[in-house]
Amino acid sequence: MPIRRAIFPILVLSLLLSAADTAPRPLRPDDVFALKTVSEPQISPEGTWVAYTVRTLDAKEDRRDTDVWMVPMAGGDAVRLTSSPKPESHPRFSPDGRYLAFLSGREGDKAQVWLLDRRGGEAVKLTDFKADVSDFAWSPDSQRLALVIGDIDPDDPSAPGPDGKPKEGAAKTPKPIVIRRLQFKRDREGYLRELRSHLYVFDVATKKSEQITAGPYDDDEPAWSPDGKWIAFSSNRTPEPDANDNRDVFVIAPRAGETPRVVTTSPGSDESPAWSPDGKWITYVAGGAPADIWYATSSVGVVPASGGDARLLTQELDRNVRHPCFTPDGKAIVFLVDEGGTVHLARVPVDGGHSSGIERLVGGDREIESFSQGPKGELAVLESQSDHPSEISAVGAKGALRRLTTVNDAFLRGIRLGKVQRLKVKSADGQEIDAFLTLPPDGPGRALPTILSIHGGPADQFTLGFQIYWQILAGHGYAVVAANPRGSSGYGRAFSRALWADWGNKDFADVMASVDHVVAMGVADPERLGVGGWSYGGILTDYVITKTGRFKAAVAGASETNYLANYGTDHYQKEWEAELGLPWKNADLWMRLSPFYQVEKITTPTLLLCGSADLNVPCLNSEQLFQALRRLGRQTELVVYPDQFHSIEKPSYVKDRYERYLAWYDKYLQPQETRAK
């Protein structure tokens, strides 16, 4: 009996410990390996299936993988279609429904088109070019593909000879890089030479191809006309494409030797062409005034396919738009629209054009990343909300959503997420701005250590979609306040362009107003404030810490500080010149706006991070700021991620970055006894 009595407490303790192990917990940095990324929904031609991709991060192999899946539109179990160790992307059904094509580099290091027969069997490699296929589109009869393929670099030691065979005795040492272009570098691409992307037409049955565009231009976004007689595409074919962003929509017959015919002629960036069902019209995204650069507001445009005057259907809306396509009856155009902290699915009648005629098909506090339209107008959207990452849903009556994928649901059942709420905040000059407050999942709390999170851009916006960074911070006990200050997109041209040649002024006042707001709410402890961001978020962080000492810790990722040093070393020459003028002519403005020349005012302990291969915001910025702060005796660290571009993508580095954020903030914002636990 004594033995039995002893067993009962042990069983109870075991059950309690088991329950504790399975109880929902906050999100942690290593959860990046558990969360999966869903993207690229594509409805099948008969409207019964949706193909999509799922990206995973492999901790053991320290790599990313993406596979193609498919789920019934009516709902049901998803089917995994690919499982190779190399990524597959860009799934596209053939119009006759027989095939599903996708891009993959599963054989070699060049992405090619692969074909899955929907009747069964393994995927087969369809194309075998010596360069990457970056995009493709099916012809309406399912017999041909329009391909986007880059030129082969003749100086690449691994490049084949004129006969397509490996060169004999090819040198292992790369040749010197000779540069002649005005735009001579780009993040992820490196130094740019006279190598361009062009359109090819590929016959599926014979596997023969022919190049249909050429010249010193990049041609992309191919779209077939319904009768298969034309291909629309976008390209900058001005005399000096590197000097401007004047992209236009062109059409060309799908055979070699034809001359492209221009369809749009605005000085802005016209792209994303899509045909009307009768082939008479092309819809596209019309960029705003070139002088506004990234502060411009785009519109849904429509133009006769034969050429003629274009009409802008959403210009009065004054919001950025994306991915327009005609409805099956040709009477309206469906598109995505940025709307103040959200992204919605909308529709505008072709004969309309007034903001009152624009209908929101799917609204609410969410971010719709992409969508696909079926043959009868069926719609599937990729959308996320603050409490779930992106998943695919079918759109029902009155915008009701019916979930089709549940990729992250099982994992999230074991996670407690912080609640996100929108705040309306008045800035110092009375301008109302949106801010978002994320609270720790264990309750609202009072006088919490609080992080000001700043978005990139500057012409970008935080949305009420899922924000893993906010949730990791909140899961660690921090309140997070994030604002859409002036300069942000989603609020119209004037709101965005208010930042023109005046960085670190109105946007600084706006983000500080959001901090003051949460302090006044009693949520934020004014003595335990941190600040941080990536890209322009890092830039504005640098402004913040030169203007105030209120923050006890800062994290500036991929930030710019000395703008004079950036000219010619990043890939933004056009934008720098448009907004600030030439540095040797406007040196005073360049220096006045550069946080680097106010570096002695920084007292905040600052963690600096960058990718060694970043040509968007090169590491020299972080290096110069680090050197200055060390020389001044300030608390600082510099973390350089080897071989990473502007976006840190290597899985172990993604986790490392989040862990370093938490460690830096903990060091300066958490009490000593809390850090010791």
Degrees to nearest 5, angle at CA 437 with 431 and 438:
165
Q: How far does Cα 137 stand from its chain's mean position?
A: 22
Cβ contacts of 459 within 8 Å, gap of 6 or more: 294, 295, 487, 488, 489, 496
For residue 153, the model assigns a pLDDT of 83
Using the structure block, give the residue that is written with the tokens 């986007």: 148
For residue 333, the model assigns a pLDDT of 98
**End-to-end Cα, the chain, rounded Å:** 41
Say yes or no to pLDDT of 199 above 70.
yes
pLDDT in tens, 480-519: 999 999 999 999 999 999 999 999 999 999 999 999 999 9
pLDDT in tens, 547-564: 999 999 999 999 999 999
Cα separation values, 173 from 109, 156, 341, Å:
19, 9, 50
Q: Considering only residues 162 and 119, tell me which one the structure prediction assigns the higher pLDDT.
A: 119
Local confidence band at 167 (pLDDT 50, 70, 90 cut-offs):
low
Say yes or no to pLDDT of 367 above 80.
yes
Cα separation values, 310 from 226, 255, 280, Å:
20, 27, 13
For residue 166, the model assigns a pLDDT of 58
For residue 356, the model assigns a pLDDT of 65
Encoded tokens for 461? 């916006």
Burial of 446 (0-12, 13-18, 19+ CB in 10 A): exposed
What does 438-492 look like in DSSP terms, one character per residue? E--TT---SSEEEEEEE-SSSS----SS--HHHHHHHHTT-EEEEEE-TT-SSS-
What's the CA gap between 327 and 377, in Å, rounded? 6
Number of Cβ atoms within 10 Å of the Cβ of 110? 16
| Mean pLDDT of the chain, nearest integer | 93
Contact 207, 126 (CB under 8 A): yes
Contact 92, 130 (CB under 8 A): no
Say yes or no to pLDDT of 672 above 50.
yes
For residue 19, the model assigns a pLDDT of 40
CA atoms within 13 A on the CB side of 21: 6
Contact 553, 561 (CB under 8 A): no
For residue 174, the model assigns a pLDDT of 85
Q: Which of 494, 504, 417, 413 is nearest to 458 (CA)?
A: 504
Burial of 635 (0-12, 13-18, 19+ CB in 10 A): middle
What pTM was estimated for this model as a whole?
A: 0.93
Lowest mean pLDDT among 116-120, 321-325, 378-382: 116-120
Local confidence band at 72 (pLDDT 50, 70, 90 cut-offs):
very high
For residue 382, the model assigns a pLDDT of 98
Residue type, 240: E
pLDDT in tens, 510-544: 999 999 999 999 999 999 999 999 999 999 999 99
Q: Which of 328, 366, 363, 360 is nearest to 346 (CA)?
A: 360
Contact 376, 43 (CB under 8 A): no
CA Rg, the chain, in Å?
A: 26
For residue 353, the model assigns a pLDDT of 55
What's the CA gap between 367 and 382, in Å, rounded? 8
When pLDDT is averaged across residues 433-441 and rounded to a whole number, the result is 97
Degrees to nearest 5, angle at CA 119 with 116 and 124:
25
Question: What is the residue extent of each domain of the chain?
Answer: 419-671
Say yes or no to pLDDT of 10 above 60.
no
What's the CA gap between 325 and 232, in Å, rounded? 13
Cα separation values, 190 from 147, 149, 182, 613, 620, Å:
23, 18, 14, 8, 16
Number of Cβ atoms within 10 Å of the Cβ of 418? 26
What's the CA gap between 551 and 248, in Å, rounded? 46
For residue 428, the model assigns a pLDDT of 97
Local confidence band at 446 (pLDDT 50, 70, 90 cut-offs):
confident
When pLDDT is averaged across residues 240-261 and rounded to a whole number, the result is 96
Say yes or no to pLDDT of 676 above 80.
no
Q: Considering only residues 249 and 671, tell me which one the structure prediction assigns the higher pLDDT.
A: 249
Cβ contacts of 326 within 8 Å, gap of 6 or more: 274, 275, 276, 277, 281, 283, 332, 333, 334, 350
Number of Cβ atoms within 10 Å of the Cβ of 221? 20
92 SS3 class = strand
Q: How far does Cα 14 stand from its chain's mean position?
A: 46
Cβ contacts of 182 within 8 Å, gap of 6 or more: 240, 242, 243, 573
Contact 129, 145 (CB under 8 A): no
What's the CA gap between 425 and 456, in Å, rounded? 20
Report the sign of the C-alpha dihedral through residues 542, 548, 549, 552, in that order. Answer: negative
When pLDDT is averaged across residues 241-257 and rounded to a whole number, the result is 96
What's the CA gap between 463 and 436, in Å, rounded? 9
Say yes or no to pLDDT of 2 above 60.
no
For residue 5, the model assigns a pLDDT of 44
Encoded tokens for 121? 């069997």
591 SS3 class = helix
When pLDDT is averaged across residues 370-388 and rounded to a whole number, the result is 97
Encoded tokens for 98? 């027989």
Residue type, 238: T
What's the CA gap between 20 and 13, in Å, rounded? 10
Encoded tokens for 262? 């221009």
Give the neighbor-by-neighbor strand order of the sheet with 432-438. Answer: 420-426, 432-438, 479-484, 448-454, 524-534, 553-557, 606-611, 636-641
pLDDT above 70 as % of the chain? 93
Domain 419-671 has CATH 1.10.3720.10: no
For residue 247, the model assigns a pLDDT of 97
Say yes or no to pLDDT of 16 above 50.
no
pLDDT in tens, 316-339: 999 999 999 999 999 999 999 999
When pLDDT is averaged across residues 469-481 and rounded to a whole number, the result is 97
Contact 334, 302 (CB under 8 A): no
Cα separation values, 62 from 32, 56, 59, Å:
12, 11, 5
Q: How far does Cα 584 stand from its chain's mean position?
A: 34
Contact 337, 314 (CB under 8 A): yes
Dmax of the chain from CA atoms?
96
Q: What b/e sequence results for 232-242 when a residue is b if at least 16 CB atoms lie within 10 Å of its CB, and e otherwise?
A: bbbbbbeeebe
Say yes or no to pLDDT of 577 above 80.
yes
What's the CA gap between 290 and 268, in Å, rounded? 5
Say yes or no to pLDDT of 203 above 90.
yes
Using the structure block, give the residue that is written with the tokens 């959503």: 401
For residue 452, the model assigns a pLDDT of 98
Say yes or no to pLDDT of 675 above 60.
no
pLDDT in tens, 590-641: 999 999 999 999 999 999 999 999 999 999 999 999 999 999 999 999 999 9
